Amino acid sequence: MVIRRFLQRGGRAGVALLAAGACLLGGCATTSVNAEWTDPQFAGRSLRGKLVLVVCDANDTAVRRICQDQLAARVTGAGATPINASADLTVGPPPANDQTIAAARKAGAKAILGARVGPDATVVSPGPSVSFGLGGFGGSRGGVSGGGVGVAMPVGGGRVDTAYGADLTLTDVETVRLMWTGKVTAPASGNINTQIGELTRVGIEAAARAGFF
């Protein structure tokens, strides 16, 4: 009855969200790139063999540290040399990240690889109980949220799993221009380490396909 009322009120949007929720609950979702953009002037500029400053931004310290380690390992595997950023450096456009730009130049890095990580959706299983936060994750520490669309279905008993997403950016240090960006989302699970590992893997693979690694 609740689902029927939801469909009547939400129309096609409701059907789409229910389908997405069913996919998450059924485990059919995979980590994927949902959006991607490359500045044509930087297309094909390889960072292999170059120094890359790696910066992760997340609301939780543990998530940020996991992301930092995972992303640095992916950069190494892609043929570049990662420089781990200190805890006070953040991801974002100038002037918010002036300190990050300065640190990258001091270290001799050619690019900054940033990742903003946060919850993208929450799934409660078993049962049709899904809370969506589509497009709402991201932001500096203290500003990451799962809000956005804000669609929710009744929650009964069951396990709560969170699907994480990451906004990844590659910034050219010399010009302070965005070279590449991509949004990656993972299916909900109770293992955040695994999700972040997949987010960084898929993100770096996308950047490599764009010619940066």
Residue 56 lies in a domain: yes
Backbone φ and ψ for 190, nearest 5 degrees, come out as -90, 0
Q: Which amino acid is present at 62?
A: A
CA 87, distance to chain mean position in Å, is 18
- Domain assignment of residue 186, yes or no: yes
Q: Considering the entire predicted model, what is its pTM?
A: 0.73
- Across 122-146, average pLDDT: 49
Residue 11 included in any domain: no
pLDDT number for residue 88: 83
What is the pLDDT of the chain when averaged over all its residues?
A: 79
Identify the pLDDT of residue 121.
Answer: 74
Domains in the chain, number: 1
* 193 assigned to some structural domain: yes
Q: Calculate mean pLDDT across residues 92-108.
A: 86
CATH of the domain at 70: 3.40.50
Identify whether 25 is part of a domain. Answer: no
Asked if 137 and 183 touch (Cβ cutoff 8 Å), the reply is no
Q: Is residue 9 domain-resident?
A: no
Structural domain for 55, as ranges: 30-209
Name the pLDDT band for 161 (thresholds 50, 70, 90). Answer: confident
pLDDT score, position 181: 96
Q: What is the DSSP string of the chain?
A: -HHHHHHHHHHHHHHHHHHHHHHHHHT----EEEEEEE-GGGTT---TTSEEEEEEEESSHHHHHHHHHHHHHHHHHTT-EEEEPPTT---SSTTTTHHHHHHHHHHT-SEEEEEEEEEEEEEEETTTEEEE-TT----STT-----SS--B----SSEEEEEEEEEEEEEETTTTEEEEEEEEE---BS-HHHHHHHHHHHHHHHHHHTT--
Residue 8 lies in a domain: no
User: How high is the pLDDT of residue 126?
Assistant: 59
For residue 101, what are its two tokens? 């730009």
- Between 103 and 126, whose confidence is greater? 103
Domain presence at residue 17: no
Residue 25 has pLDDT above 90, yes or no: no
* CA-closest candidate to residue 110, choices 179, 180, 55, 47: 47
Q: Per-residue confidence at 86, pLDDT binned at 50, 70, 90?
A: confident
pLDDT tens digits, 112-125? 999 999 998 766 65
pLDDT of residue 1: 46
pLDDT for the residue 75: 98
